[in-house]
Amino acid sequence: MLQPILKINLATREISQFKVPREWLYDYLGAASLAARMLYDHLTPELNPLSPETPFLWLNGPLTGTAGPAVGRFVICAKSPATNLWGESNVGGFWGPELRKAGFDGLWIEGRAETPVYLWIHNNQIEIREASHLWGKETYNTQTAIQSELDAKNVRVAVIGPAGERLIPYALVLTDHGRVGGRTGMGAVMGSKNLKAVAVKGTGEVPLINWADYKAPRAKANRALKEHNATHYFREVGSGGAADYFDYLGSQPKKYYQAGVFEGSSKITGASLTEKYLTGVSACHACVIACGRVVDLGDGIKRKGPEYETMVGFGQNLLIDDLAATVRMGELCDTYGLDSISMSNIIGFAFSLFERGRLTLADADGLSLDWGSVEAATQLIHLTARREGIGAVLAGGSRSMEARFGDEGDAVQVNGLEIAYHDPRGASGFAIVYATSPRGACHNQSDYFMVDILGQTDEGLDISFHSRHAGAEKAADVARHQDWRTVNNALVLCVFASVPPLTVLELLNAGLGLDWTMADLLRCGERAWNLKRAINHRLGLTRANDKLPKALLKPYENGGSAGYVPPVQEMLTAYYVARGWDEITGRPTPAKLQELGLGWVVEDLWPET
Amino acid sequence: MPAKFPSEEWLAALKEKLNTDPKYADIAKNWEGDLCYAIEADQDFPQTMTLYMDLWHGTCRDAYMVKDGQEVSPAFTISGEYGNFTRVLKGELNPIQAMATMKLKVRGNYGYIMRNIPTVLDFTRCAQEVTVGEG
């Protein structure tokens, strides 16, 4: 990192700066990978993620703000209150580039403010400002209030809503026009520190080691990205455009992962949204894609439209065929500051438990939790955000709901993180991805369905195309794809951007003055993947954690993936071999750790050796 | 009768197939949109060529080779190297994957394509069934 990290103790109000060791830039690149290295020593099993002692790290990548192809993102990391394991969530918008322009590559936040505060970073002027008057406000209202009281143009504000204040373990952090760090509960960590928002304004230049060599490949890469089919597709129909195809293939879960077909499915798609409600698009910093949806439901109000996960989560997942309702429920999650994937998944679990009689009308405060009920789903969002009645139970997440109302394995989650809407029964690589992701069931640590379904075997990755229902033979390729996406999450390069890996390598070499090969780059990803795994083992994870919930191991009766379940155990065994991990414990072996330059972790991970 | 791709004979065979195949007629019954294949030269096919097909409600109303200087403005244009078209026609490459990975470039209404994936796939099946030889 070229610029310092701003260190802020909210309890003592001490503000200082420090620089990251130069060699760590080369070992980890930046963002999530670098955060794992920086936080390693602090992440102990005893650490309560919501305690004042928990360090909370916001980091940019080495290319953030350089107007390269879709590299305007930053990441927020801490021990996750949802999983008690590694937590990370990257965010688009403009906040990250703005922080770099202010002269910092990241924030290290610790301590708990005595009363609610927000941070105001205006170049080198840092203020901890009173926020009691903002506490309780919704996300967008908070942004507006802060922007008007700061009296400066284009201030970028990252905020939490009431969900973060109430420490809901799937609370999000929201920036700009509804770009969110939704997963692993980073909003709750922020709330636990009494930190309502971080406002940033920078007027400096974004630094880069070699701007002169970077500009030509950057222009070429942006031109190629702009012309890519996927870019046209994302701009026209958003990520929800995939809903039709995933529905056709049976890789899109319905009825809380229990049904392969839903009659109303064709109404809940990106194409439908474009046809009925789209009025414009929105983009993150310097992005040529503009996947963001701006919609009007007929009331003249411009709203953020849902992306694939929110649309399907509140649509097919709940058997709701009212597209406008999915827009409104997504908006409600954003305003309260709730992760829409977890929230919709948890509501699906509540509907499922209600259908089975495990959660009664009395438990549900008299709400009839019927499949397809927009009213019930909407009410559950309100109750959850306020932690009222049954909402207090839902606010604990699906794992705690399972402990109270269900049987082991009922909740569709892994390690405390609710599963996204990509079904391993439709694309088997996701069996490994969900079971082994360092942040619980996550679709962004490797979006392997892009390989399984869309054949994205980019040159340089040495990944082969297998049938979407192949088994253990794809394990090594999944591992390699995880390494690649770990590189993406270190940069931070948006997964929606179809930038060829060899182009990424060219950009990095040019901008950072490196002479790396693809093998070097992938090794960098593999190093961070193993480091995050080591962190999780240190926090108590064992091989037994690498598993899928019951629902995903039962074949669908109909739809495009009827009759199939992935051979998870065979796939995992092959995966451990490919990773060089111990097959009994699931830990990276001492030899693998040494090979990756992580010898300093061996003593923690293998104390008996 | 199957024919070599790309040729007048191949287009005629495809038109015949599309107009007589009951499965295609059913799946594509709502499709409205003409289509061009814009074939780019590669080492096995050192010329460019454009094929036009007017697809309407499960039938093919017209199909012809576009002559030099002739202007067409179809709803959809699929362009790419000859080798990538032939890989799709030989069943070696899934057409959706070909589009997702830019082996074939697509211009047209993406929402409409996503809405009509079964039609896209069944059109490809018909095209594969009328193709012989390298194509």
Please write the tens of the pLDDT for every residue from A480-518.
999 999 999 999 999 999 999 999 999 999 999 999 999
Count CB pairs under 8 A between chains A and B. 61
Cβ contact A229–B99 (<8 Å): yes
Per the CB < 8 A criterion, the answer to whether A19 and A4 are in contact is: yes
The C-alpha atoms of residue B64 and residue B15 are separated, in whole angstroms, by 10
Alpha-carbon gap: A201 to the closest alpha carbon of chain B (Å): 38
- Provide the residue type at B22 as one letter: P
Closest CA to B5 of B94, B108, B132: B132
The pLDDT, as a whole number, for residue A152 is 82
**Closest Cα of chain B to A321: distance in Å?**
16
- For A109-164, the pLDDT digits (tens) are 999 999 999 999 999 999 999 999 999 999 999 999 999 999 888 899 999 999 99
Asked if the Cβ–Cβ distance from A233 to B110 is below 8 Å, we say: yes
DSSP state of A24: H
Nearest to A294 by CA among A331, A332, A246: A331
Average confidence score pLDDT of chain A:
97
Chain A: closest CA distance from residue B9 (Å)? 30
pTM above the 0.90 mark?
yes
pLDDT in tens, A327-384: 999 999 999 999 999 999 999 999 999 999 999 999 999 999 999 999 999 999 999 9
* Beta strand ranges found along chain B (DSSP E): 3-4, 32-40, 49-56, 59-65, 76-81, 105-107, 131-132
A502 touches B at CB < 8 Å: no
Q: What single string gives the DSSP state of each residue in B55-85? A: EETTEEEEEEEPPTT-----SEEEEEEHHHH
Does A416 have pLDDT greater than 90?
Answer: yes
Closest by Cα among B3, B87, B107 to B45 = B87
Average pLDDT of the residues in A66-74: 97
Alpha-carbon distance of A160 to A328, in angstroms, equals 19
Q: Is A549 left (phi over 0), alpha (psi -120 to 50) or beta?
A: beta
Whether the CB-CB separation of B55 and B62 falls below 8 Å is answered with no
Is the bond preceding residue B130 a cis peptide, omega within 30 degrees?
no
Shortest CA distance to A551 belongs to which of A568, A538, A535? A568
Chain A residues in contact with B105 by the CB 8 A cut-off are 227, 229
Interface test with B, best of A227, A229, A450 (most B CBs within 10 A): A229
Q: Is B92 on the interface with A (CB under 8 A)?
A: no
Q: Quickly tell me which residue has 């629902």 as its tokens.
A: A551
Q: What is the pLDDT of residues A573-604, one digit of tens each?
A: 999 999 999 999 999 999 999 999 999 999 99
Q: List pLDDT tens digits, range A465-482.
A: 999 999 999 999 999 999
| Tens digits of residue pLDDT in A281-299 | 999 999 999 999 999 999 9
Share of chain A above pLDDT 90, in %: 99
- Is pLDDT above 90 for B1? no
Judge contact between A512 and A62, C-beta under 8 A. Answer: yes
Sign of the Cα pseudo-torsion (A584, A585, A588, A591, in order): negative
Tell if the CB–CB gap between A230 and B114 is shorter than 8 Å. no
Give the nearest chain B residue to A231 (CA atoms). Answer: B100
Q: What is the pLDDT of residue A1?
A: 66
Nearest to B100 among A237, A270, A456 (CB): A456
Cis peptide before A501 (omega within 30 of 0): no
pLDDT level of residue A609 (50, 70, 90 thresholds): confident
Strand segments (E) across A250-351: 278-282, 292-296, 302-305
- For residue A385, pLDDT over 60 is answered with yes
Contact status of A241 with chain B (Cβ, < 8 Å): yes
Residue A229: its chain B contacts at CB < 8 A? Answer: 99-100, 102, 105-106
Q: How confident is the model at residue A183 (pLDDT cuts 50, 70, 90)?
A: very high
pLDDT at B134 over 80: no
Vertex A346 angle, CA A492 and A335, to 5°: 60
Q: What is the pLDDT of residue A592?
A: 98
Is residue B100 less than 8 Å (CB to CB) from chain A? yes
Question: To which H or E segment does residue A417 belong?
Answer: strand A417-418
Instruction: Using the predicted structure, report yes or no on whether residue B135 has a pLDDT greater than 80.
Output: no
Look at residue A524 in the predicted model and tell me its pLDDT. 98
Give dist(CA A258, CA A239) in Å, integer. 23
Question: Mapping DSSP to helix (H, G, I), strand (E, B) and coil, where does residue A8 land?
Answer: strand
In angstroms and rounded to an integer, the radius of gyration of the C-alpha atoms of chain A is 22
Longest dimension (CA), chain A: 67
Contact A334, A343 (CB under 8 A): no
Other beta carbons within 10 angstroms of residue A130's beta carbon come to 13
Residue found under tokens 């003592």: A12
- Diameter over CA atoms, chain B: 38
DSSP label of A117:
E
**Nearest C-alpha of chain B: how many angstroms from A71?**
21
Instruction: Give the pLDDT score at B133.
Output: 74
This model of the complex carries an ipTM of 0.95
Coil/strand/helix, residue A440: strand
Contact call for residues B18 and B12 (beta carbons, < 8 A): no
Q: Is the pLDDT of residue A61 over 80?
A: yes
Q: Which two tokens stand for residue A511?
A: 């901008």
